[in-house]
Chains A and B, each alone.
Chain A
């Protein structure tokens, strides 16, 4: 009897749950799981579960002695978040006072702690000795949020009330942890070494394909780009893999996902296993170091006092061990960089990595300084920041430990703006350039760190408008010569600028919408290697973004947003357009890491047309895939090639020899494909024919009955039309010609 009642209450719970699940839109999966649980419990108790739930009807007004917890459960769920003790702190080393002074002390404590956050109602509790009626020298304070509690702990730990009373503040939750520390030290257990998976296996793909990850709806999927067969091949798919976005590590080894509790990285030889987790509650943004040794995570927390700035927490993890190497906490103001008044918000990444793939340095822009840290000790180089008055922007060379920084004009033009290059870790200034009447300045590094282009917007003499010029630094040459470049029409607005990766050229979109011009320049003109020269200008292009192939030479001029997805595939070596195309409403363009394919996608900023197209480098559409609620498309990056530059050049020179093998393969595949295609079509046709003959038969069978329904009107045939192919040959002209016969 007991078990039956138990089951009954279980069923009832299931019902209430079920009803609620509709309200709060629990997923089907959850329901199924619940059902499984019930079944499992029932099986344990030996109860036959073959009951039609919908057939059970409770007598009206009768609850069988079981109180419906419909509403309560829901509220309980909500409360659970707050019922932990993460928002409680314990303040120790308070004065011990008699009852008369109790209220005064309480007032003092309340004053101190309510400055930091909102103390809950009845959230301050100072226990009293029941015999002596004196306080015990400590109290508990409960805040609204754990963040406030943590802040209070940080700010008041060591607070001197007077000489004898220095506060010792702890999180309530930490007590448990400290109590568990064993009294004697035991050597840590050494786990036997287990070899990890080959995380680079995707690079050894036989067909040399590339992978990409897409996020659409709740699904995240990693796919091969099988361009030869014009389709994708699935690698791994998971629903609810991430809670906000995914990101590849810079060399493609890991895929990072972001969750409420923190970030995680995934990888493996054949599938995607979770390799490591990085706890960081409410993480918003993540960033890998270029050599993927470190992961920076960022979160920002609303203060309970709306006048305060958000609190920012940044952790730097070691990717492989998952250890926190350094954490930074503070108010959002301290991490706000750039922008005129420093109120422009945080620009991400806050920490910029320098020194190439070795992950040696990272730096942060501060007020009148740049803080450069090194990863050996995770502390400031020379224990102090680089002092630069009024610095507003900086950027690292992608390969060398060189910082380029920009200081704007000061004192109404008395002190010119300047760009300077600083070498790390010695902090020597390598080069400096003063610039006059500057309104704004942007720095662009070439991918090998060979060149730095500084785009400087200058005021005209009247100060009413600006014009743009470029200062081009040749970093690798002696004394770092600087060249000034102005456009042919220097009043043109610059819409986009991009260096050729690994190359000596750059492209600029300039002029006025709707049809700006695109110009290409080379840092090595034909007769003088040390001078910049214009290669060509393309007039009136519908483009507002430039996408160089990672291998250089080819570029996609894209008209995104306002231009509705115009694409032009341009060969800069030959200075010719290879193809023009359109991916209507395209929002993103990305080259694959080898420069063979281009992906254009329409993400869910638009409601319609969501999905992506894959193009060859020369602008041939290979295939298109439509996905509703399409959020992300990311090619899996590849690590740098092991080939020496000499070897690469050799391959480029003897490309014919190397490509022969692949051409043959391509041919085979295309033969196979057309064969497969024909086969598939034949199958479809056959299948269809089968249906059609089935229908004819049925139609024939039912003929008489149909006639009857129509009062004997026998006219099935006359309403059927049939398409017939008729070939007509016509002789248009016959002419005879005598051809002379030569020996």
Chain B
């Protein structure tokens, strides 16, 4: 089917997120305004105004009531999804790079960039059920990894936090003590900056994408490397189908290095791989510029991609897609 082209952002996309029901799609971009769309027809539902810098990331609560966004304006904001109003603002001394609600939505993990004298850090905040009782206080702050931490997510039962970033190492931290539990080793791990990390629906395994032109699949509990998917270009975004054994990698040449000779030179395709056999099965072209964000609808029947070109492309799969055999 023809993809639905969703134009609403004026700057490159940074992040995409479906709610649990799969009817809403939240998009973040460098243009300060996170936007919510109907996930089936791509109609724009509303925007969340208030940030004063590029919005890098977001997450939505399980009941789709609350949205949390992290921005380069050094704040993380909680929003009322329906009304678009700000509920609370966490202030940091440096840009917020990633946010995620824990299971139960009572905690959120936030990573902040190194900025001025501050080093990068992972913060855990308690999210109050009633936003009037919300406090600024951090439950836990983890420091240590060099360079930006591009993504931090919760492990099973909120017991661990998994982080990855510029130093190309994936780390698992204990949430109770803040201690480092496991580290991916140099041999099997990524060689360059890890740009994205996405968990499977049940959180049992996760996929990391890196500028070293590969994506790797890991076991969440043991940090065992299970699969490696290699491609020809740097990977900026990864997604896993919740339905079929497919993974999608998006990326491309750095926007500043894009040649002007041929649009294919940059390889701005989203590539589908068989999750088990690690073989390429197809690609979706369309973006004029690298792909920065990818997300699968929780029903596995559609996915969307966000590009440096400022567009979100929403793909509803054809029936053929579900019968791919290799």
A residues adjacent to B (C-beta < 8 A):
564, 584-585, 606-609, 611, 626, 628, 681, 684-685, 688, 691, 695, 698-699, 702, 705-706, 709-711, 716, 719-723
Contacts and interface: CB of A to CB of B under 8 A. Distances in A.
Given A608-B253, A719-B20, A695 B204 contact: yes
B300 A720 contact: no
Contacts of A607: 253, 257
Given A608-B233, A710-B62, A691 B298 contact: no
B300 A695 contact: no
Contact of B242 (A684, A706, A721): A721
Given A608-B232, A719-B20, A722-B243, 10 more contacts: A608-B253, A684-B276, A684-B277, A688-B275, A688-B276, A699-B204, A709-B104, A720-B201, A721-B243, A723-B244
A611 B201 CA distance: 36
A691 B322 contact: no
B232 A609 contact: yes
Contact of B202 (A611, A628, A720): A720
A265 B275 CA distance: 45
Contact of A691 (B103, B226, B267): B226
Contacts of A626: 230, 232
B20 to A, nearest CB: 6
A308 B288 CA distance: 52
Q: Which of A609, A688, A695 has the most CB of B within 10 A?
A: A695
B156 A721 contact: no
B284 interface: no
Contacts of A611: 232
Nearest to B20: A719
Interface in B114-139: none
B213 to A, nearest CB: 8
A702 B201 contact: no
B265 interface: yes
Given A711-B104, A721-B300, A723-B243, A706 B157 contact: yes
Nearest to A688: B276
Contacts of A608: 232-233, 253, 265-267
Contacts of A606: 265
Interface of B: 20, 62, 102-104, 106, 156-158, 201-202, 204-205, 213, 219, 221, 226, 230, 232-233, 242-245, 253, 257, 262, 264-267, 275-277, 298-300, 322
B202 A706 contact: no
Contacts of B205: 691, 695
Given A607-B257, A721-B300, A705 B265 contact: no
A101 B221 CA distance: 91
B217 to A, nearest CB: 9
21 contacts: A584-B264, A606-B265, A607-B257, A608-B266, A609-B267, A611-B232, A626-B230, A626-B232, A628-B213, A684-B277, A688-B276, A691-B226, A695-B202, A699-B204, A702-B157, A705-B157, A709-B106, A710-B62, A711-B104, A720-B202, A723-B244
Contact of A681 (B106, B158, B266, B277): B277
Nearest to A562: B261
B12 to A, nearest CB: 20
B232 A702 contact: no
Contacts of A716: 202
Contact of B276 (A628, A685, A706): A685
Nearest to A602: B232
A721 B299 contact: yes
Nearest to B278: A684
Contacts of A695: 202, 204-205
A77 to B, nearest CB: 29
A16 B202 CA distance: 50
Nearest to A607: B257
B202 A723 contact: no
A706 B103 CA distance: 7
B267 A698 contact: no
A698 B221 contact: yes
A723 B298 contact: no
Q: Which of A611, A681, A698 has the most CB of B within 10 A?
A: A698
A723 B267 contact: no
Contacts of A564: 262, 264
Contacts of A584: 264
Given A691-B205, A721-B298, A702 B265 contact: no
Given A706-B103, A710-B62, A723 B204 contact: no
Contact of A702 (B156, B264, B275, B299): B156
A720 B102 CA distance: 18
B272 to A, nearest CB: 15
Nearest to A710: B104
Nearest to B107: A709
Nearest to B106: A709
A529 B219 CA distance: 73
Contacts of B221: 698
A28 to B, nearest CB: 10
